[in-house]
Structure 1
Amino acid sequence: MVIILLALVLVPLVTGFALVGGGRRPRAVGETSAFAIAALAAAATTALAVVVSIQRPDFDRQWVPSLGLRFHLGVDGISIPLIVLTAAIGLLAVLHRRVDDRSGSDATYFGCLLIVVGGALLGFLARDAILFFIAFEMVLVPMWVLIAVFGDQRDRESTRRAALMFVLYTVLGSTLMLAGILALVFASGTADLTELARGVSLNAPQQTAIAAMLLAGFAVKVPLWPLHSWLPAAHTAAPTGGSMLLAAVLLKLGTYGVIRLLVAPLREGWQTLAPLVGVLAVIGIIWAGLVCLVEPSLKRLIAYSSVAHMGVVMLALATGTELGLKAALFGNISHGLISALLFAVVGGLKQRWHDDRLDVPREAVRDVSPRLGFALLFGLAASLGLPPLAGFWSELLTLLAAWQPASDRTLFKVLAAVAAIGAVLGAAYALRVARTVWGGSSDRSERVVPEPAPWRDASALEWTVIATLIIAIAVLGVWPTGLLDLMAPAVDQSGAIR
């Protein structure tokens, strides 16, 4: 089984680097060949992820003996859902690229997608803090390429600025994160995440200082308000597949790192910082909701909604309870599926409209594209937390956890009440999008912009990608206990990881 664990990481990474190298002329890989190779690698990765999730193998070898570092890979109930999510979203992102007629099936594009998937999988599998950091950093360069090279071609200046913001913010976050990880490793004497999860024997001021460094780095990666401004710009410029991976996978690496390196090892330090995290998370929820009420760019609006949803996840973690940890983990998966669905739909609409403006009168999507219209309504319903869809459970569990936190009960009850207002804002902007896009121009006296001919509804391949996400969101909403029971053995009564 060890070979399967290694293959789960090596298949996307090796294929990805081969495609990037093979995409260079004069011996460039053809469009059809690049798509076929990438699709096969992504499908194999998804199958391997399922097998690893069932068998749960472990691989542990010395890596840098002089520094005491080990190449240690393993899975548990916390990482398994994220591993399957990463592999599945990677496959769907590859398939969705075939739908985009504007730029073909570029080998470099597919290669970068697979490298992002492979790096993320390595991060979720890593049981060593330094290995986790290396894996986290591995995904940044290919994601930058996806944004800078394959991003929005209509406004190259904005795309370049978005790519630059992505690099500057993430490098800043990486520097702070590395400083915190090194401080944690040298103070505790180990980089093994299993050992660190038992808690470190440091006094409260030391834990708080290290936790503050780690939190500052992860706040950029999650992102947590007010360090979120890079995310809407990156999503707006990124290609559809890049946005799907960025929202569904890369942001989850940030919250996963918070759980592995903050919540579990530095319990006293995290408890000290948790009220601040809760306040910032709720500010982000309200801030993003208000922006979404007036944002004219549909893709940017969905990006800001991700800021709000990640605020919900961080609020759940800040409660310091077992229920809060479960709510955060559930929210990670539900948001990954919902955001991937919305970006797939919005990407399809942007391709057909040739922009994503909400202030331009258009024909109703329900009339010209029933499939995309249904998928948009479904994604919006899941995003606002309508039961019995996946988004409902993450919000409900978070509010329950915030109402009964481990400490600062009065503060967290206030935060729960304010976060509930954020849910109302979510319903308001979801209805705004539904009225404007699904229902068409509300003012029929305005000149409706005719859709570029020929307008096509979702193709068979595009609908397969969208329908897969719809089914996953529905199943997770109807049967939440499946995911919760999977996570339960890895979470103890104190909210730490076993």
Structure 2
Amino acid sequence: MITTITIFIPLIGAILMLLLPEQERPLRYAALAVAAVPLLLTLYIYFAYGSGLGVPSLTQDFDWIPSLNMGYRVGLDGLGFGMFFLTALLTLIAVVASYDVRENLKQYFAILFIAEVGMLGVFASEDLILFYIFFEITLIPMYLLVGIWGDQNRRQAAIKFFVYTFLGSTVMLAGFLAFGILAGTYAMDSLTAGGGLGRTAQIAIAAPILFGLLIKVPAVPLHGWLLDVYVSSPISTNVVLSGILPKLGTYGLIKVAIPLLPEGVEPFLPYLAAFGVINIVYGAFVAFLQPDLKALVAYSSIGTLGFILLGAASGNAVGLNGAVLQQVTHGLYSALLFVLVGVIAARTGTRRIRELGGLAARMPWAGGLLALGAMAAMGLPGLAVFVSEFMSIMGGYEAFPVQGVLAALGIVLSAMYLLYMLARVVFGPIERPAYEAIEDAGPMEMAAAVPLAVLLVLFGVFPALLVSVQRPGVEAVLSAIGGG
């Protein structure tokens, strides 16, 4: 019952937001209270049940449409818990970081909470059709968050996001429907190891599912929607867009496609690993060319997502554990960087890298946290991304040596553009006299950034805090695919 309550608390919050008067301070306090509840419930689950999440736990299962074998089936396991926690955390961070949203505030919070329902639901679904429904619930809210509260290019960005993701999810649904019809059920626990289907049928079903999920990641070259959406969105929306939305695709690969269709996915695994390497290398090269700090962070995000694809394709314990952990660590560092980009742009009036400089002297807190986020993104030892990337590379190298080596070289490329950015923006000369008088990050901005920085350090020093929870779920995937 607690899983369902956690999923739908934000829906109650959305209704509450719409009923409240349009007064900024009460709205923000109410939104903070609503967003805090799922996070507190998730922390309770971790401390009370974390070690027992090897198989789906805290489940609810009842028939929804019995004639079609569809049911409301939810539960939490080690594969989904990390992202369940991250969704609750980053939604709260997005509320804190919503200082850049001034108009139609209660509608903004209501739509954000509806999106949270969909995201939490995806990471707890144990039924293919329910997975798809929650997957789609996120589409319209994110379209509205970008299209209404974005910058001058928001409509074009929102339409591009809608077209790409709706196409991907529709193709994915076709695969789900075919799978359920042929196997006789949509319940994931009954579909393990192909649901009794032969290799040819599994390949035919796996292809559209993989296509839909890779658009959501997005894997290059299916990434055409990402840059416009990231650059045009408010910073608070960026926190959710970068930290959670891509993981709907990667989580679908690890939770649905790979264990439920092992023979169908197997022929695609080398290509999945190749997509991962392309993301890593392409993201690094294009990030180096970006004049806009926000665009640089967006392409950095694309590159780091490639390690999840590589680890997921590996089919071994090290790589899969790395991929599952990377989903969380990527969300932490990308959200941190987007928050800090927002702070810097608000203080200086620009996001152009060549126009920025000297933040270490004038904005020591913002500059220092930006440096920490960048070092996490480049995989510095002692920070959480290093652990997950190292595991993904080692697992990927064991299965695909060439891809593993190229992924490791990709870390060098990311270090080059991130160090250049830091040298220019944080430690470079002050570019404008007006920057002499700018203020550092304020209390609300620090409240959004500091928890993310602390968790990057905490999970870097104590990765077992998450790995111990996710390991049983990874072992279940390995058992389904016959890996080790």
Q: TM class, shorter-chain normalised?
A: over 0.9
In structure 2, the residue matched to 1:35 is 28
Query: What amino acid sits opposite 1:312 in the alignment?
Result: F
For residue 206 of structure 2, the aligned residue among 200, 204, 211 is: 211
Does residue 197 in structure 1 map to residue 192 in structure 2? yes
**1:166 partner SS:** helix
Describe how 1:51-62 pairs up with structure 2 within 5 A: 51-53=44-46, 54-55=48-49, 56-62=57-63
Partner of 2:475: 492
Matched, 1:401 2:409: no
| Aligned CA distance change for structure 1 residues 127 and 455 (closer, same or farther; 3 Å) | same
Q: Helix, strand or coil: the match of 1:72?
A: strand
For 2:377, the equivalent position in structure 1 comes to 383
In structure 2, the residue matched to 1:422 is: 410
1:189 to 1:30, Cα distance in 2 relative to 1, 3 A: same
Can you list the C-alpha shifts for 1:52-108, whole angstroms capped at 9, x where unaligned? Answer: 34345221111112212111111111111111111011111101113x3x6267111
1:357 aligns with 2:352: yes
Distance, in Å, in 1 between the alignment partners of 2:191 and 2:87 is 25
Question: Alignment partner of 1:74: what SS?
Answer: strand
| Corresponding residue number in structure 1 for 2:72 | 71
Name the CA shift for 1:481/1:300 in 2 (closer, same or farther; >3 Å).
same
Q: Is residue 85 of structure 1 aligned with residue 80 of structure 2? A: no
Matched, 1:46 2:14: no
1:227-238 equivalence runs, <5 A? 227-238=222-233
Deviations 1:258-291 (A, max 9, x none): 1122110111111110011111221121111100
2: distance between equivalents of 1:181 and 1:241? 33
User: 2-side partners of 1:339 and 1:451: how far apart?
Assistant: 29
Partner in structure 2 of residue 437 of structure 1? 425
Deviates more, 1:330-339 or 1:203-212: 203-212
Aligned sequence identity (%): 34
> Contact (CA 8 Å) 1:13, 1:119: kept in 2 or not?
no
Structure 2 Cα separation of the partners of residues 160 and 454 of structure 1: 35
The answer as to whether partners of 1:323 and 1:495 remain within 8 angstroms in 2 is no
Measured after TM superposition, the shift of residue 497 of structure 1 is 6.0
1:15 pairs with 2:9: no
Mapped contact 1:197–1:260 kept (Cα < 8 A):
no
Larger mean CA deviation between 198-207 and 330-339 belongs to 198-207
One-letter amino acid of the structure 2 residue matched with residue 435 of structure 1 = A
Normalising by structure 1, what TM-score?
Answer: 0.91
Determine if the alignment matches structure 1 residue 366 to structure 2 residue 360.
Answer: yes
- Where do 5+ consecutive residues of structure 2 fail to align? 50-56
Asked if 2 retains the 8 angstrom alpha-carbon contact of 1:34 and 1:105, the reply is no
Distance 1:185 1:496, change over 3 A: farther
Letter of the aligned partner of 1:70 in structure 2? G
Q: Which residue of 1 aligns with 2:286?
A: 291
Can you list the C-alpha shifts for 1:241-263, whole angstroms capped at 9, x where unaligned? 11110111111111111112211
Distance apart, 1:353 and its partner CA: 2.4
On the 8 A contact 2:194/2:202 being kept in 1, the answer is no
Alpha-carbon distance in 2 for matches of 1:355, 1:183: 50
Distance change in 2, residues 1:463/1:494 (3 Å): closer
Q: Contact conserved, 1:225 with 1:284, CA < 8 A, in 2?
A: yes
CA distance in 2, matches of 1:328, 1:497: 17
One-letter amino acid of the structure 1 residue matched with residue 77 of structure 2: D
TM-score by length of 2: 0.94
Q: Distance in 2 between matches of 1:103 and 1:471?
A: 28
For 1:473, the equivalent position in structure 2 comes to: 456
Write the distance in 1 (CA, Å) between the matches of 2:272 and 2:253.
11
1:137-162 C-alpha deviation (Å, 9 max, x unpaired): 1011111111111112xxx1x22211
Match of 1:464 among 437, 444, 447: 447
3-state SS, counterpart of residue 62 of structure 1? strand
Name the structure with the higher helix share: 2
Which one is further off, 43-52 or 119-128?
43-52
Deviation of residue 495 (structure 1)? 2.2
The offset of 1:114, in angstroms, is: 1.3
Letter of the 1:366 counterpart: A
Match of 1:408 in 2: none
Deviation per residue, 1:335-365 (Å, 9 max, x gap): 01111111111111122222311132x3411
Query: Quick one: distance in 2 between partners of 1:264 and 1:450?
Result: 58
Are the counterparts in 2 of residues 363 and 451 from structure 1 also a CA contact under 8 Å? no
The answer to whether the 8 Å contact 2:277/2:310 transfers is yes
SS of corresponding position for 1:59: strand
Cα separation, 2, equivalents of 1:465 and 1:204: 48
For 1:127 and 1:323, locate their aligned partners in 2 and report how far apart those are by CA, in whole Å. 25
User: 1:313 Cα deviation (Å)?
Assistant: 0.4
**Equivalent pair of 1:15/1:38 in contact (CA under 8 Å):** yes
Any stretches of 5+ residues in structure 1 without a counterpart?
A: 406-411
Does the 8 Å CA contact 2:194/2:263 hold for their aligned counterparts?
A: no
**Alignment deviations for residues 362-401 of structure 1 (CA, whole Å, 9 cap, x no partner):** 3411111100000000000000000011111111111111
* 1:57 aligned counterpart, secondary structure: strand
Given the alignment, which residue of 316, 319, 330 partners 2:325?
330
* SS across alignment from 1:70: strand
State the shift of 1:131 in Å. Answer: 0.5
Whether contact under 8 Å (1:378, 1:470) holds in the other structure is: yes
Aligned: 1:346 with 2:344: no
Deviation (angstroms), 1:22: 4.1
Superposed, which structure 2 residues align to 1:141-220 within 5 Å? 141-152=140-151, 156=152, 158-220=153-215
